[in-house]
Structure formats: C-alpha cells, structure tokens
A and B are shown apart, each in its own frame.
Chain A
C-alpha cells in the first residue's frame, strides 16, 4: 500500500478512485501517565508518555484507514490528513482520512 499526503505520486497514474477512507480512535491517558505528567509540569520538559500515546493513536487510526482501503481493493491512499478533537477531559480523538485509489506506474505495470 502506498500512502502519501500529496495528491499525486510521481511516475504513477491513478486508474480508479475508490473514495474517501477513514480511521479513528479515541484514547485516554491513564493515571500513571497523568502522575508523571503532573510532576513534569513543575520542572518542564517533554511528556514522553503523552508522545507515546499520540504515536499509538496515530498508528491505530492509520491502520484502520488502510484496512478500509484494502477492503475496497485500493493499492494507494492519497492526500492523507490528520485531525483531532477533544472528546472529554483527558481524552482525544485521532482521525486519519485520505482518498483510496488504484494506481499503476506510468510504464504500465500496476505497482504493489
């Protein structure tokens, strides 16, 4: 699966558009992370636990989006965007969306 956040892939052309695909996940911080973050909030610095949380959330959202794309028979997702919303105190939604498409290289052979 080719995943990019541009509308085109150089050297390839779109043969078929499969429409919008999306994946989301709502994640909450847990108490241990909050405790560490509370202490970090006094001295400053990076909140590694929260960074990890974001990374996990992003991976999950993207993999759900890709699952949808492969279900549609696409081999590429173009113009991927991320968005978040704050659902409730201490929890956030990570949302990934893009356009699923079937692409092939301009020389002819469809690419994986």
Chain B
C-alpha cells in the first residue's frame, strides 16, 4: 500500500512537471522570440573584439552584463535520469541551456538599450555551477545559470556598416 502511495506521488509530480514545465517553457520561448524581434533588430551583436561598424566619436563604451538562472522541472530531470542509464543525448536539458543563454543575452541587450547604445561587441557567454555538482548527486536543485558579458557602444553613423543580428543563440 505504501509503495503504491509512493508511486502515485511520483506520478503526480511527473504530471505536474510535464504540464507546468511545458507551459513555462512555451511561454518563455514565446517571450524570448518576441523580445529578440523587438530589440535584436535594433542592435548589432558580435563576439568580435574590434568594434565592428566603428564607434561614434565622443561616446564611451561600457561593460554590460546579463544573468539568467533557469530551473529544470521534475519531468525533465526524470527523463534525464533515465537517459543517463544508457547514456547519450540529454535533450530535455538542451532547451534549458538555450533558454538561459538567450535570456542572459537579451537582458544584456536590454541594459545596453536602456543606456542608449545600439551595438554590443565581444559578447562572452559563461555557464555557472550554482547548485554545485556534489549537491546534485544528492538530488539537489538542477538549474542552469549563464552570465553574458559584452561591450556596448554607439556605432559610427558615417560608416553605414550592415547590422549583424543574432541568429538563434
């Protein structure tokens, strides 16, 4: 009987994870796409160190950053745990990484936009281990954290350089 209750509990968690996780992910991707369309189109984004397009005279470039920390859901973690038995691609975690990266870059762009810049160069993306690998083994929180950093500047007007847009980060 107790085993049955336990199984029912796990199934309930799986259901909640599958439902809520799907909705959260769908909403997040929709929001990412909308904001990327709005703000990404106005920005030149590169990971070049050379200020493509040239910086406008008199405008001082600034270091900008963006953080995002996205949590896994019970269903994703469960599927990944099963997959780890045979090894291979953990697809449920791939979308987590993408969401964290795109969110971090967008926040960086939003900060740059608020400061009145129209270009970001030398974009770097770095992953973090907040949960701690040792904690994870004991069934701790599974999450993905990303820090995006770059240099925001105003593009020179005269050069008329073409704008580089992000393509599905």
Contact = CB atoms under 8 A, between A and B. Distances in A.
Contacts of B24: 43-45
B61 A6 contact: yes
A11 B20 CA distance: 51
A84 interface: yes
B134 A89 contact: yes
A43 B149 contact: no
Contacts of A37: 71, 141, 143
A40 interface: yes
A86 interface: yes
A72 B98 CA distance: 40
Contacts of B129: 84, 86, 92
B128 A54 contact: yes
By secondary structure, the B interface counts as mixed
Given A6-B121, A84-B129, A43 B20 contact: yes
A37 B69 CA distance: 11
Interface string A80-101: 1111101011111000000000
Contacts of B116: none
B40 interface: no
Interface string B52-70: 0011011011110101111
B71 A40 contact: yes
A97 B63 CA distance: 13
Given A38-B141, A53-B130, A47 B70 contact: yes
Nearest to B20: A43
A67 interface: no
A51 interface: yes
Interface of B: 13, 16-17, 20-21, 24-25, 28, 49-51, 54-55, 57-58, 60-63, 65, 67-74, 76-77, 103, 121-122, 124, 126, 128-135, 140-143, 145, 147, 149-151, 153
